[in-house]
């Protein structure tokens, strides 16, 4: 079995190690690189507004790292944020927040839809303003849903996401290996952006793209890939994941019997 791990380099390591120890061949092909946005006057003003929000959604460990760094630069004390309920997209993000003494709510499904199912959105009557610590282009769906519920959104952009320069030559290596030994492979797709970049790389290799079995995070991404197959008139296998936890991914792979 060949598993293509498209997670950003730092986030890929634990999963790659877990799968390798289970005897699964892993090819690392990071499709997202994260680069911090500069700390500007606008960001400083946004961080100072955190005193007036009831919740902060933190979308990744990277958002924790940059957000806490910029929070210190804003000279806003954590004691001024005692009213805030913290929401982490997944357990690794919650663990990163815990290093700063913050306990965060974590959804059962590590997606925007999963976070929207948290009790805060149905039970907290004073939820008027919510902040997002995120990257450019991420979590648009969740922010739109909050705004439709009449919740004001403080959109704090901490980093930008881009396809790494190394992705193209790494992809060419993968294509070469496939040409020598063509067989189905498994790809982890964790975001709409990574799927977009994967499709760009596969633009001239649709036959190769169709040989993949895609593990995708969450229902919305699952439907995005389904619509892609209908639009292109092609077919490939898709399996939905509710978590990117190493044990969840490994158990799913073992059940596929590929």
Span 76-105, pLDDT tens digits: 888 889 889 999 988 889 999 999 999 999
Percentage of residues in the chain with pLDDT exceeding 70? Answer: 99
Q: Please report the pLDDT score of residue 108 as a whole number.
A: 79
Strands (DSSP E) contained in 16-164 are 25-28, 33-36, 55-58, 85-88, 104-105, 129-135, 152-162
More confident residue, 159 or 114: 159
pTM for the predicted model, two decimal places: 0.74
Residue 138 in this model has a pLDDT that exceeds 70: no
Q: Please report the pLDDT score of residue 199 as a whole number.
A: 96
Please state the domain extents for the chain.
Answer: 2-32+164-256, 35-162
Distance CA 206, CA 203 (A): 6
CATH number of 2-32+164-256: 3.40.50.10090
Q: What is the mean pLDDT of residues 34-46?
A: 94
| Average pLDDT score over the chain | 91
Residue 137 in this model has a pLDDT that exceeds 90: no
Q: Which two tokens stand for residue 75?
A: 């000279």
More confident residue, 118 or 133: 133
Q: Using pLDDT thresholds of 50, 70 and 90, give the confidence band for residue 27.
A: very high
Report, at the CATH architecture level, how domain 35-162 is classified. Answer: 3-Layer(aba) Sandwich (3.40)
Identical fold between 2-32+164-256 and 35-162: yes
Q: Using pLDDT thresholds of 50, 70 and 90, give the confidence band for residue 112.
A: confident
């Amino acid at each position: 079995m060949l598993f293509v791990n498209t997670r950003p380099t730092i986030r890929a390591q634990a999963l790659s190690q877990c799968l390798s120890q289970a005897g699964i061949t892993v090819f690392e092909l990071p499709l997202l690189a994260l680069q911090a946005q500069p700390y500007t006057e606008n960001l400083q003003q946004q961080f100072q507004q955190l005193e007036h929000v009831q919740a902060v959604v933190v979308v990744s460990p990277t958002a924790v790292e940059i957000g806490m760094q910029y929070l210190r630069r804003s000279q806003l004390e954590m004691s001024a944020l005692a009213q805030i309920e913290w929401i982490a997209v997944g357990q690794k993000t919650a663990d990163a927040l815990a290093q700063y003494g913050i306990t965060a709510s974590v959804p059962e499904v590590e997606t925007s839809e999963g976070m929207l199912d948290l009790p805060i959105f149905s039970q907290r009557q004073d939820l008027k303003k919510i902040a997002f610590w995120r990257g450019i282009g991420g979590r648009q769906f969740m922010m739109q849903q909050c705004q439709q519920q009449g919740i004001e959104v403080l959109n704090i952009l901490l980093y930008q996401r881009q396809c790494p320069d190394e992705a193209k030559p790494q992809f060419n290596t993968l294509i070469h290996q496939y040409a020598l030994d063509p067989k189905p492979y498994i790809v982890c797709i964790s975001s709409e952006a990574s799927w977009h970049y994967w499709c760009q790389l596969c633009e001239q290799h649709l036959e190769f793209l169709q040989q993949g079995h895609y593990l995708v995070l969450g229902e919305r991404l699952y439907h995005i890939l389904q619509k892609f197959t209908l639009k292109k008139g092609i077919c490939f296998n898709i399996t939905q994941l509710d978590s990117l936890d190493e044990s969840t991914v490994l158990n799913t792979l073992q059940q596929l019997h590929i």
